[in-house]
Structure 1
């Protein structure tokens, strides 16, 4: 049996390191540029040299081998690969250099009080799991984005709707930018919940139906950078600007409340008109 065998649990870490190494060129890190380079980006030995760590240990880490590395080792790798704050945090999570998330990620139960809370918001609002399965939502979300109760339960997921629902895609003027931002945030949660089959099943389904998802997922982008107002378009009232706020809820790991507040008075008026029309149509 080989020393420090490769493990499936470390494959995400291995792929992440390769993707970060491939995006750099020698000039980015003040190394001399040579004419003959068969490897895209930096070589492993160049990363190890920049980080001041042993080449063997870095190679094993990038190969997904079951080795233990110190916080200092990871800090040096993060510095050598020019990782930003979110990427550095992602590296530490993937390397299992922190305690596992506590609690049951699937144990959250929506109570009547949660529904009453959602109804109080002026804009669309919903409660979702870490993998973006929607557990509860308000009537304003139905009015603005379409009736979620008509969506099959297995597709009632914000990432699925973003990539696989034509109506949702058509309602977002800057779809590619918004989709990539959502995917980058989802990737962080995927790293925190490795082994959760709900994530794996969703990823497999999206790879089968979306060419964009299939192309972007291997790029390993991770970010939680603040975003500006999100733009949505409705054939009934036109374009709206909404500001997203996300809050974690107690009761299950990763469960969050997501609220879209109108960014200006025009958007507030258009949302109010959609909600009024929706509720009028729902009354007997």
Structure 2
């Protein structure tokens, strides 16, 4: 978008968002001078955001002024902007949008995600947070991978390297280990100051020399698809392809769906394993 058009859009966008917020919603006292419009005045937005009235007026006018992420965040809070609106404001102001995690995640997505992985039955599906903690899984994930067989919260990275049950069932462990570590390193690199990642790294490093050796290689990979081969104690050989996806409205979660591959009559075996199991269990999402 040309700069002149971006400034015009910035002005119109801020004016329209300001008009949506009533003084009562912003926590301002009732009464005062009679209003021409139900929304906030420029001066009120400035006070609530902690900036000068002149500066906010210049921002709305699209003037060539210095804009910081901190000030845009303050204005966003006053105007109650959604995640998409915050990103739009940053772009119109000429700044790179904030990382998705800085925008408050929509908690109402959880019910929809539960329905998603439930509908994926009889194929395994689970959802991880950004630290690879498993927060949701369907019954097929329990039948195939043993998820939820006890009440202990599980971390998928730690289980991959340190859980004997998972290791015993996974024929493709050697092939996939390097990819798993490279993908986790990419996630860590995007959050260099996040103590949650450091805690997971400390735990898995203390448990697995194999992880430490792969981590030292410093490989980086994006999330994507991984072929998995398992030897299940009841169903025998299973071949699936896992696909990891993110939902923009919940960037803190990673959805992992497993699709049966043609080998070993996997689809029929998964349906048989899932027969008699129902529901989606939660681990604190």
Tell me the equivalent position of 1:61.
none
Q: Quickly say closer, same or farther: Cα 1:225–1:191, change in 2 above 3 A.
A: closer
Structure-2 separation of matches of 1:194 and 1:225 = 18
Give the number of aligned pairs.
Answer: 181
Q: Does 1:239 align with 2:237?
A: yes
Aligned runs of 1:109-188 on 2, under 5 Å?
109=107, 111-122=110-121, 123-148=123-148, 150-153=150-153, 156-188=154-186
**C-alpha contact (below 8 Å) 1:105/1:254 kept by paired residues:** no
- Report the alpha carbon displacement of residue 274 of structure 1 after superposing the two structures with TM: 1.0
Aligned runs of 1:54-73 on 2, under 5 Å?
none
Q: RMSD value over aligned CA atoms?
A: 2.5
Tell me the equivalent position of 2:214.
216
Question: What is the SS of the residue equivalent to 2:256?
Answer: strand
- Report the alpha carbon displacement of residue 247 of structure 1 after superposing the two structures with TM: 1.6
Decide which structure has the larger Cα Rg and report it: 2
For structure 1, list consecutive stretches of 5 or more residues without a partner in the other structure.
1-97, 280-284
**C-alpha contact (below 8 Å) 1:104/1:253 kept by paired residues:** no
- Report the alpha carbon displacement of residue 196 of structure 1 after superposing the two structures with TM: 1.1
Q: 1:123-157, CA deviations, whole angstroms, 9 ceiling, x for partnerless residues?
A: 1111112221112111110111114251522xx11
Structure-2 separation of matches of 1:162 and 1:205 = 13
Structure-2 separation of matches of 1:263 and 1:138 = 19
- Report the alpha carbon displacement of residue 107 of structure 1 after superposing the two structures with TM: 4.7
Tell me the equivalent position of 2:19.
none
Q: 1:14-38, CA deviations, whole angstroms, 9 ceiling, x for partnerless residues?
A: xxxxxxxxxxxxxxxxxxxxxxxxx
Tell me the equivalent position of 2:204.
206
For structure 2, list consecutive stretches of 5 or more residues without a partner in the other structure.
1-95, 279-285
Structure-2 separation of matches of 1:106 and 1:163 = 32
